[in-house]
Amino acid sequence: MNNAITILIDGLTYASWLFIVSLGLTLVFGVLKILNIAHGSFYALGAYAAASFVGWVSVLKVSPPLTVLLMLVTLFVAALAVAALVAPLTERGLLRFFYGRDEVLLVLVTYAMFLILEDVTKLIWGANPYYVSEPYAMFGNIEIGTQIYVGYDFMLVGLAVLIGLAVWWGLNRTRLGKLVLVVIHSEEVASSMGINVSRIYMLTFTVGIFLAAVGGAFTAPMISVQPGVSVGVIIVSFAVVIIGGLGSIEGAAIGALIVGLARAFAVHVVPSAELFSIYIVMAVVLVFRPEGLFQRIQARKI
């Protein structure tokens, strides 16, 4: 029983940050039709920025409740800073010149961005790992049965649920979200209705980068932030959106859960299968649903 609970909690924890990152990836694909290889680099930038920002504010002396709030705000501010700085440079300065071109070319362009950003992170932060454990220790421990779990993991699960609901509400219950949905279904119709498609592209890409950076910022306290962290993230994120269906929010959520639980099961039951357990699940899904669990071949939707 304890082992089953441990697998469930570990799977949900892993799925939570992975869902946040994959949500940004599938959102950008749904609107801009770009399979963004550089998405993992935005995750890494968020992690590095969080490590730097937490290091700067950790010297401040405030009461314990305010310290927790300050650390959470710091992580969000780090992600927001990455999105505000990187989005205009990449979308306006590079990607906009390739819209409407061959999709393979766009993949190559984002791969070039990935290589450039990998070197940029090394130039700014160096090659040594960063450790930022202060936020991770502030939420204490939670005892379930005979096992003790870190409270930060449960906070991360709640954050993923909150972000998922916020994105869904923004797309389906706000005027701006309705405009985004119009652009998704038909750019030509959107333009004929007077919608500024270029502005929608910029907004969506900024939100996508922000989500990737949030995923990186909130997992930074759980990992060693070092060069190469983006590679594993983008590979697993692609597995999630392929399982769930490219361009689907529901698919990103279900795909992240499947990947997280499959990995947790492998870690605790069959450790030797951890490295390829995710890809086995992906292969099984693609055999029966080549377009993913939630995507329809006829139309791309979110």
Q: For residues 75 and 135, is the Cβ–Cβ distance under 8 A?
A: yes
In DSSP terms, 225 is beta-bridged to 130
Question: Which amino acid, one-letter code, is at 52?
Answer: S
* Residue 300, pLDDT score: 46
* Residue 91, pLDDT score: 93
What is the spatial distance between Cα 222 and Cα 211, in angstroms, rounded to a whole number? 18
* Residue 1, pLDDT score: 65
For the stretch 53-65, pLDDT in tens is 998 887 777 777 7
Task: Of 135, 149, 140, give the one whose Cα is nearest residue 225.
Answer: 135
Q: For residues 13 and 153, is the Cβ–Cβ distance under 8 A?
A: yes
* Residue 275, pLDDT score: 77
CA 197 to chain centre: 24
Distances (CA, A) of 262 to 115, 232, 286: 30, 16, 16
* Residue 185, pLDDT score: 84
- Domain segments of the chain: what residues? 2-288
Q: For residues 50 and 216, is the Cβ–Cβ distance under 8 A?
A: yes
Task: Of 7, 26, 5, 43, give the one whose Cα is nearest residue 253.
Answer: 26
For domain 2-288, give the fold: ABC transporter involved in vitamin B12 uptake, BtuC (1.10.3470)
pLDDT tens series, the chain, 302 aa? 678 889 999 999 999 999 999 999 999 998 988 889 999 999 999 999 999 999 888 777 777 778 888 899 999 999 999 999 999 999 999 999 998 888 889 999 999 999 999 999 999 999 999 988 888 888 888 988 778 899 999 999 999 999 999 999 999 999 999 999 899 888 888 888 889 999 999 999 999 999 999 999 999 999 999 999 999 899 999 999 999 988 888 899 999 999 999 999 999 898 888 878 888 999 898 888 888 888 654 444 44
Q: Torsion over CA of 106, 112, 113 and 114, rounded to 10 degrees?
A: 110
* Residue 211, pLDDT score: 97
Q: For residues 163 and 211, is the Cβ–Cβ distance under 8 A?
A: yes
Half-sphere exposure for 189 (CA within 13 Å, toward CB): 8
* Residue 298, pLDDT score: 46
